[in-house]
Amino acid sequence: MTRARTRSLIPWLLLTVVALIVYGSLYPFTFKPDAIEGGVLQALHRLSWARAGRGDRISNVLLYLPLGFCLFLWLNGRFRRRVSMLLATMLGTLLSLSVEVAQVYVSIRVPSLTDLTLNCAGTVLGASGGLAWGALSRLIHMPTRAETRARDPGAALLIALWLAWRFAPFVPQLDLGRLKSALQPLFDPRFDPVAVFMYLVCWLVVNQAVAVVVSRPRRLEVLLLLIAAVLIGRLVVANQTFVPAELLALLLLLPMVVLMHRLAPQPRRAMLVVGVAAVLIVETLAPFDFEAGIAYFDFWPFRAWLATEPLAALQAIDWVEMFGRLFLSGALMWAIKEWGTSMRIATTAVTVLVLAMEILQMWLPHERASIGDPLLAVLAGLLLRLLDRPASSRLDTAISRRARIR
């Protein structure tokens, strides 16, 4: 019974991927049922080997990668690996064929056997990725019940901050042009090693938070669900695109998770602390081109918000920057606490570090040093300290307060 429950997330993820494929392939749904006489068989004859541009070819492969991945994971729980690979390829090809036939009845679409071939190739590549994911996931050590720790609300807060950072500015934009522009950076990918490292560390933090929050059998599925949520969010949120560095980091994520789970808890937590601290420093001070001149330190960075209307102030906030700072500061505090210190010490250490980096920004050109980031670090620490208190302690505090009021 437990086994069936652990696989319950994959079908939902699969349905989401299918819905995105159908939407992206048939938008704007201007069907003309009378355009073809003779029904589906006649529509099949309209498929040709029409050539597509380089960007469209890459899009057709990328669009079916997650389909093959999810199909394989779903089928692998029921069939052997070879059968699952074959069935995933067949089902992906069948979906692609159905979409191409449906495009015959859409006025602005060009149905093509070339697209069908590329979609099939994408399905095969995605299923191969699912095969690799399953092979690596079996190497991860899942702790016994005696090793399982109590769930940590602070870890759940980190996951929420990570999703808020990736989904900001929270403005959906569901049109075909938006989907294509989100994929545009992948047509000519360029990888920055520093960016790959930063994304990899952030995802390792998320993985560690998931390990604390979620029960053992569902950890990898929840991690996979978060990855899918972020990637889908890049498609539907305005002004967001896929980042090649993040995709490469995701390819390295599971092997790194396997390696880190082979380490003892303390060295693993120490590596996480060092990694997050490095990301925070690089994000704040890179490219480290300090100059002799010194700028001023802004003690009132929020003054402009107070001078405008509330709605205009909300629109003026850089939500990506704010949630990014909250996540990185909170992640470092949480990692230090997991390493073996109190949340009070972790909050103090990270706040001092952030303040020191803001002071150093006074010698960086094109940077504005302010009290804003240290205040966000304090806010992250206060939230984590509030959630770090045991539930019994919070209940006792509430009871004592009520008693004093009475």
Range of the domain at 173: 151-258
Do 335 and 249 lie in a common domain? no
Using DSSP, state whether 237 is helix, strand or coil.
strand
With respect to residue 402, please indicate whether it lies within any of the assigned structural domains. no
Do 240 and 281 lie in a common domain? no
Query: What is the structure's pLDDT at 391?
Result: 43
Query: Which of 91-95, 141-145, 251-255, 368-372 is predicted least confidently?
Result: 141-145
Do 6 and 124 lie in a common domain? yes
With respect to residue 370, please indicate whether it lies within any of the assigned structural domains. yes
Each residue's pLDDT tens digit, 35-83: 556 555 566 656 666 666 666 677 778 888 889 998 998 898 788 888 9
Do 169 and 289 lie in a common domain? no
pLDDT at 361 over 80: yes
Query: What is the structure's pLDDT at 406?
Result: 47
Cis peptide before 244 (omega within 30 of 0): no
With respect to residue 146, please indicate whether it lies within any of the assigned structural domains. no
Query: What is the structure's pLDDT at 299?
Result: 77
With respect to residue 237, please indicate whether it lies within any of the assigned structural domains. yes
Query: What is the structure's pLDDT at 389?
Result: 64
With respect to residue 278, please indicate whether it lies within any of the assigned structural domains. yes
| Long-range CB pairs of 309-312, under 8 A, 24+ apart, other chains included | none
Each residue's pLDDT tens digit, 190-214: 788 999 999 999 999 999 999 888 8
Do 187 and 274 lie in a common domain? no
Q: What is the pTM of this model?
A: 0.80
Return the percentage of the chain with pLDDT > 70, whole number: 75
Domain closes at, from 258, 273, 299: 258
pLDDT band at 388; cut points 50, 70, 90 = confident
Do 242 and 278 lie in a common domain? no
Query: What is the structure's pLDDT at 185?
Result: 73
Domain closes at, from 207, 224, 258: 258
Do 68 and 16 lie in a common domain? yes
Average pLDDT over residues 255-259: 86
Of 40 and 123, which is predicted with more confidence?
123
Query: What is the structure's pLDDT at 167?
Result: 87
Distances from the Cα of 85 to the Cα of 11, 70, 131, 313, angstroms:
17, 11, 8, 52
Do 38 and 82 lie in a common domain? yes
Query: What is the structure's pLDDT at 328?
Result: 96
Query: Which of 47-51, 120-124, 280-284 is predicted least confidently?
Result: 47-51
pLDDT at 141 over 70: no
Query: What is the structure's pLDDT at 79?
Result: 87
Mean residue pLDDT of the chain comes to 80
pLDDT band at 392; cut points 50, 70, 90 = very low
Query: What is the structure's pLDDT at 54?
Result: 65
pLDDT at 154 over 60: yes
- How many CB atoms within 10 Å of residue 15? 11
d(CA 205, CA 198) in angstroms, rounded, equals: 11
User: Max CA-CA distance within the chain?
Assistant: 82
Do 242 and 274 lie in a common domain? no
Query: What is the structure's pLDDT at 339?
Result: 92
Query: What is the structure's pLDDT at 241?
Result: 75
Cis peptide before 390 (omega within 30 of 0): no
Average pLDDT over residues 351-360: 93
Query: What is the structure's pLDDT at 271?
Result: 93
Domain closes at, from 258, 276, 303: 258
User: Which amino acid is located at 252 in the chain?
Assistant: L
Tally of structural domains, the chain: 3
* Structure-block tokens of residue 85: 């690979």
Query: What is the structure's pLDDT at 218?
Result: 77
Q: Cα–Cα–Cα angle for 214, 254, 2, nearest 5°?
A: 35
With respect to residue 405, please indicate whether it lies within any of the assigned structural domains. no
With respect to residue 173, please indicate whether it lies within any of the assigned structural domains. yes
Do 270 and 391 lie in a common domain? yes
Dihedrals phi, psi of 215, to nearest 5 degrees = -65, 155
Query: Which of 235-239, 270-274, 360-364 is predicted least confidently?
Result: 235-239
**Nearest residue to 254 via CA among 146, 157, 138, 382:** 138
d(CA 208, CA 260) in angstroms, rounded, equals: 10
Q: Alpha helix locations (H) across 243-360?
A: 244-261, 265-285, 303-306, 310-316, 319-339, 343-360
pLDDT at 147 over 50: no
**Nearest residue to 75 via CA among 131, 115, 136:** 131
* Structure-block tokens of residue 179: 């989907």
pLDDT at 288 over 70: yes
Cis peptide before 287 (omega within 30 of 0): yes
